[in-house]
Amino acid sequence: MENNTLKNFVEEVSSKQATPGGGGVIAYVGSLASSLGIMVTNLTIGKKTYAKYENELEDIKKELEILKLNLLECINKDAEAFKPLAKAYSLSKDSEGYQENLEKCLKDAANSPLLILKYACRVIELDERLAIIGSKISVSDAATSVMLAHGVLYGAYVNIIVNTNLMKDKEYASNMNDEAVKLLDEYSVRALNIYDDICKRISND
């Protein structure tokens, strides 16, 4: 699915098909956030003013490249996790192993957005550094990147709880929800602080 053209992708999202849905969209947005971070590194590396950060920028670029690809892979992972869940819901509740199968499908479906959430948190961490050591001409791109990642946090969270809230294993669901809430609370504030700081710096220049 990640090999689709942009037009095909948005048309599929717009259709009656269940996938790509919210999970696939946030994964794609996360990959775009990573790409903008990479753009910042490319616009900074090689400039004398930022020579002392060269090695660090190269490391950040490499990690963002990995995050970009991992998030693109999550488009398929999310879709693949949804297929058995949809099938499970279509079965009779009286069928053998119905609840056990449904429970497994719910857990698999929740794991994908949790992974996306964690990737987005890392993008925010890297953007935080790029906002400081990145070229001034690309600082708005760092701000855009961090706000895209900020949106991913919320999209990922709601795609987690829509599954955990249906689980019979309440301890598992509670632990996953707690982990997601902790990340959401910390990194949503962190992303907004990065964005606000960049806007203030731009305004004062």
- CATH number, domain of 129, equals 1.20.120.680
The answer to whether residue 152 sits within a structural domain is: yes
Crossing angle between the packed helical segments 54-90 and 98-133, to the nearest 10 degrees: 160
Quote the pLDDT of residue 19.
80
pLDDT at residue number 205? 64
**How many whole angstroms separate alpha carbon 14 and alpha carbon 138?**
32
Query: How far is 112 from 52, CA to CA, in rounded Å?
Result: 38
Q: What integer pLDDT is reported at residue 15 of this predicted model?
A: 85
pLDDT in the model for residue 104: 93
> Does residue 20 come out as left (phi exceeding 0), alpha (psi in the -120 to 50 range) or beta?
beta
| pLDDT given for residue 13 in this prediction | 87
Residues in the chain, pLDDT under 50 = 1-2
Residue 1 domain flag: no
- Tell me, what's the pLDDT at 148? 98
- The tally of domains found in the chain comes to 1
Domain that holds residue 171: 6-12+19-204
Residue 111 inside a domain? The answer is: yes
Peptide bond into 20 cis (omega under 30): yes
Residue (of 153, 157, 81, 154) closest to 119 by Cα position: 153
